[in-house]
Amino acid sequence: MRGTSSAWRRAAALTAGALILRVAYVLLAGRGIGIEPGTDAVEYDAFARLMLSGWHWFTTPIAGREPLYPFLMAVAYALPGPDIGMLKAVQILLGAATVPVVYLGLRPIAREPVAVIAAALVAFSPHFVPYAAFPYRENLVIPLLAAFFLFAVHLAMEFRWTRVVGCALCLVLLIHTDTRFLPYVFVLPVLFLVVNRAWRATARAWGWTVLVFVALMVPYQVRGPVAFGYPVLVSDRVLEKWLPLLGARLSTSEHGVGAAPGRTAWLRQWEAEKLRTLAEVTPEERAYFLAGGRPETGRLETYWAQLLEFWRFGRFSIAYRPYPDGRVAPPWSKRHLVTSGLVVIPFFLLLPFALAGTPPRERRLLQAILVLLVAHTLLHVVVHARERYRIPVEVFTGTVMAISLVNLGQRLPGRALRR
């Protein structure tokens, strides 16, 4: 009982610290941040306001964006107070709520200091804190991905129906936030097998999770045939992302949005985003792009460029980095010193210490984290990679660093960290 009460006190203290820091950041540095023209936030905002002004479940044919983050924005806008201000308040709560999810989720499967350090990194990370001020869907992806992974690990260790439902529900919500998480259905059995080392237990856990997942996916799918006249899986961009070799698209974004009166500005902003990304490139590159030119690169070169952009290992020489849709990545800047100096470099430097000296139960957690990191990297590099898409898995790069620091602490004479 004493251990349980002390755990809740630690969770409350870490959550309070995360909440205070995020509120302070929004008030001191993030008050002027809003819907920036030409960014994805314009599309989310348009979808959210459409939901508030007569969007109908079955009859409004908009599938150009996944619905969950715009729905969160619509809920925030419906609250009394300034629209963007209330959205930031909701995102502050989401960011702070991730901290107890990580701490309480890790505590049964990792040493106490590991859970505390990992949760503290989520609470105070210079990557996570500012996100409360920005209208990005990563504010939803971060807590959902953390909960999904922890449900999956706990389910692999012991089959419980609450864990099956929790894992499936988190995956459904992730896909309705970003369809790039759809292949995680097939990453799940790998996670299960890494943790439990048992084929039969893996098959049982995965089979039931998939059944619950399919059932939970149904409600949003029924609107496709009614609104469009043909199936639409969450977003009409699914085929564009995952099945380009078929040469087919369920619909076009223009068709879906064009059917909604008064939303032509949304279409214009989609093209404006491409122009915005050219703001910091050379005049020659800008003229080349606006004339319809695209860099001719092989598939492997494109993947390599996206891998460098995704992890931001440091300053590198690719000045014009192509994306599958022809956009240009932002140039390397001083801001990326924070990424390399506080996240990427420490993670790779500390990783060997996590691989050595970790207790067997925690070692399986570590291996599952590495599977998640590899899968998350590959899925984004193959489709479309930007540095901010890596931010959600930094919950678990932080966990790896926590394991490494605890292992190092146990090697110091007279300063062993014990559970």
**Mind giving me the DSSP string for 11-26?**
HHHHHHHHHHHHHHHH
Give the integer Cα–Cα distance in Å for 197 and 188. 13
CB neighbours of 32 closer than 8 A, spacing ≥ 6? none
Q: Is the pLDDT of residue 417 over 60?
A: no
274 and 327 in contact (C-beta within 8 Å)?
A: yes
> How far apart, in whole angstroms, are the C-alpha atoms of residue 411 and residue 292?
59
Confidence of residue 123 (pLDDT cuts 50, 70, 90): very high
Q: Which of 32-36, 49-53, 186-190, 243-247 has the lowest mean pLDDT?
A: 243-247
CA-to-CA distance for 175 and 173, rounded, in angstroms? 5
- Spatial separation of the C-alpha atoms in residues 310 and 384, rounded to whole Å: 9
Q: Which of 319, 315, 351 is nearest to 336 (CA)?
A: 315
Mean pLDDT calculated for residue range 283-306: 66
Tell me what pLDDT residue 386 has.
Answer: 75
Express each pLDDT in 157-216 by its tens digit: 999 999 999 999 999 999 999 888 989 999 999 999 999 999 999 999 999 999 999 999
| Residue with more model confidence, 282 or 88 | 88
Separation CA 181–CA 172 (nearest Å)? 9
Predicted pLDDT at 381: 84
- Among 60-64, 83-87, 165-169, 347-351, name the most confident range: 165-169
Both tokens of 56, joined, read 């109908």
Instruction: Look at residues 96, 43, 97 and name the one whose alpha carbon lies nearest to residue 73.
Output: 43
Whole-number Å distance between alpha carbons of 266 and 285:
26
Q: Please, what is the average pLDDT of the chain?
A: 78
The number of C-alpha atoms within 13 Å of 178 and in the hemisphere containing its C-beta is 20
Beta-carbon contacts of residue 386 (< 8 Å; ≥ 6 apart): 309, 310, 329
Q: Rounded CA gap, 116 and 107, in Å?
A: 8
pTM (global) more than 0.85 = no
- Residues 303-341 pLDDT 10s: 777 787 788 754 443 444 444 344 444 555 555 666 666
pLDDT band at 237 (very low <50, low <70, confident <90, very high): low
